[in-house]
Amino acid sequence: MNRIFLITLLLLIPSTLLAKENVKEKKIAKYVMENIQKDYLNCYSFYKVAAESLKKAGKQKEIISGLEKSADISLKYNYDLGEIMGLNPKVMAVMTKDKVNQFIKLANEDFPSLAQKYGLMCKGLVENPEQRTNYWETKGAKIIK
């Protein structure tokens, strides 16, 4: 289901960027794409750090496996969107590494706050990306003139 939605999103947003004459629509579409891509990057980083933290704590393998699967999904969509946006894979790899390192630092300082900030958002993004897309469309429509 998530893949079908993402494929639809990936097909519609570029079409919107190319076909629509409305400048505001184009700006909103670009805004949505950029923010969803950043969300996937943040979620990949969160899931990787959370999985590693739980491994070190000796938690259940099923939970860790679920986090790692969500990390893989997030990374794939992060790269798919980055590619559509024209980002160089080497640049995306550096961005990903830097973001993971940033999340490691945050987790070491205050893991519960990190989990509170990203846990539900990332779960929602992986399970229902349409909801997050709607969030960014609504926000973009309010701030883009």
Q: What is the pLDDT of residue 70?
A: 95
pLDDT at residue 8 in the model: 63
Which phi-psi region, left, alpha or beta, contains residue 86 (left: φ > 0; alpha: ψ -120 to 50)? left
Amino acid letter, 92: M
Residue-wise pLDDT tens digits, 76-113: 999 999 999 899 999 999 999 999 999 999 999 999 99
The CA radius of gyration of the chain, in Å to the nearest whole number, is: 16
The total number of residues shown for the chain amounts to: 145
Q: 99's torsion region: left (phi>0), alpha (psi -120 to 50) or beta?
A: alpha
Structure-block tokens of residue 36: 């969803």
Residue 33 near residue 13, CB atoms below 8 Å = yes
Phi and psi angles of residue 128, each rounded to the nearest 5 degrees, phi first: -150, 75
- Comparing CA positions, the residue from 61, 42, 41 lying closest to residue 51 is 61
First to last CA, the chain: 33
Q: Quickly state the pLDDT bin for 20 (edges 50, 70, 90).
A: very low
Residue among 145, 142, 137 nearest 31 (CA): 137
- Nearest-angstrom CA–CA distance, 10 and 24: 19
pLDDT at residue 61, rounded to an integer:
86
pLDDT in tens, 21-66: 578 888 899 999 999 999 999 999 999 999 998 888 877 889 899 9
- Contact present, 106 and 117 (Cβ < 8 Å): no
